[in-house]
């Protein structure tokens, strides 16, 4: 080709770029925040009170400053993995299985009768019962964080899981069969794509938090927390457990090594049943009379139904508004949705322990949260 002849391929690329059809060096996006905003814009049963959000943002910021809340707060908990004790790869493996199984701990029973785990002289419920059970299993020589173990149908059975997650009460851990299915699937995917090790999955994301979330959602059905909402062409992505896995890595490693992500602030709040509860308590969100009645009566809400989707998506958008308000009022402060979620979750759990909960959480039995 002579210097006078146009490069048709280059011209086509430039034309696509100018028309918005091509983005060079495009960074991964999860689409979670976009979907949450869409649901909020079309929500009729869950609303956000902007004045209450402003007041709550001020109170939350003050309390977080007072408590010096940071990623180190996560790592300081006695049950969370200590990477200095078990090694970096051991910590990644622990976090992977922890968030693989991080769902559905609520109970209809009283605090004294609900599923609970006794470990190191303490009684643990909710999410902490899972973490305590995993630590107890490792102490007993059960390789619960090893994907080879999950694939072994003779060694990793439902009865073995019943032992691993045995309760100090008469209530069994919910959805045990579903948890076993998650382990089986994850073990197979890690074998086929990541040489049986979760660290290879993390490394495949090339330091992108959004990239790791997308890999989890693409390769593991049990992490693909996305659902249809009111005729939207694309599913609304919530991706609670995929996002919290990334956040836990970031917190455990304090933003370094396997927890170093250049785009960690793309992670949103983790839509479960506890954070909507505290947002409702703070007056940040409110419900239509039918939904309010259903929650107060502790009725089970259909998984993937309109009410449940509005609760989860509007909570994501609400926490994003809280984050923006804090950044607006305190420009020099770096705060992301992860820290807000951790703080809000810890707050409602403290209220539960103290018996000061003023509103119940919604009930949906699901593997997604």
- Identify whether the C-beta of residue 118 lies closer than 8 Å to the C-beta of residue 79: no
Nearest Cα neighbor of 91 from 226, 243, 259 is 259
Tokens of 79: 């049950």
d(CA 238, CA 177): 23
**Could you identify the residue written with the tokens 């449940």?**
308
Given 45, 99, 219, 272, which residue is catalytic?
A: 272
- Identify whether the C-beta of residue 131 lies closer than 8 Å to the C-beta of residue 80: yes
Q: How far is CA 157 from CA 153, 196, 197, 335, in A?
A: 6, 19, 21, 42
Which residues, in sequence order, are CB contacts of 253 under 8 Å at separation 6+?
83, 88, 91, 259, 260
Nearest Cα neighbor of 46 from 254, 266, 317 is 317
Q: Is residue 272 among the annotated active site residues? A: yes
d(CA 27, CA 131): 33
Integer-rounded Cα radius of gyration of the chain: 22
| Residues labelled catalytic | 272
């Amino acid at each position: 080709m002579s210097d006078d002849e146009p490069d048709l391929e280059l011209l086509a690329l430039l034309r696509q770029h100018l028309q918005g059809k091509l983005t060079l060096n495009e960074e991964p996006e999860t689409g979670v925040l976009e979907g949450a905003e869409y649901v909020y814009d079309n929500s009729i049963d869950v609303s956000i009170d902007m004045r209450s959000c402003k007041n709550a943002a001020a109170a939350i910021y003050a309390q977080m400053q007072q408590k010096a809340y940071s990623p180190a707060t996560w790592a300081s908990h006695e049950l969370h993995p200590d990477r200095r004790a078990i090694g970096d790869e051991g910590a990644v493996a622990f976090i992977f299985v922890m968030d693989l199984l991080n769902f559905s701990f609520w109970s209809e029973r009283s605090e004294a009768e609900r599923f609970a785990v006794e470990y190191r002289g303490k009684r643990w419920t909710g999410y902490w019962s899972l973490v305590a059970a995993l630590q107890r299993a490792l102490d007993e020589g059960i390789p619960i964080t090893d994907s080879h173990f999950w694939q072994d149908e003779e060694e990793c059975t439902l009865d073995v899981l019943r032992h691993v997650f045995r309760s100090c009460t008469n209530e069994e851990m919910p959805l045990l069969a579903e948890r076993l299915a998650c382990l089986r699937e994850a073990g197979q995917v890690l074998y086929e794509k990541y040489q049986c090790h979760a660290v290879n999955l993390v490394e495949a994301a090339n330091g992108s938090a959004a990239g790791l979330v997308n890999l989890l959602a693409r390769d593991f059905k049990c992490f693909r927390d996305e659902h249809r909402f009111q005729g939207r062409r694309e599913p609304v992505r919530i991706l609670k457990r995929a996002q919290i896995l990334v956040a836990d890595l970031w917190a455990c490693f304090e933003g370094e090594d396997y927890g170093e992500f250049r785009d960690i602030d793309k992670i949103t709040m983790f839509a479960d049943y506890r954070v909507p509860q505290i947002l409702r308590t703070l007056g940040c969100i409110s419900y239509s009379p039918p939904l309010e009645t259903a929650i107060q009566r502790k009725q089970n809400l259909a998984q993937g139904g309109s009410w449940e989707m509005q609760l989860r998506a509007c909570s994501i958008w609400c926490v994003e508004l809280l984050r923006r308000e804090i950044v607006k009022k305190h420009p020099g402060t770096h705060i992301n949705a992860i820290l807000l979620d951790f703080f809000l979750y810890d707050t409602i759990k403290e209220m539960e322990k103290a018996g000061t909960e003023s509103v119940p959480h919604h009930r949906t039995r699901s593997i997604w949260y």
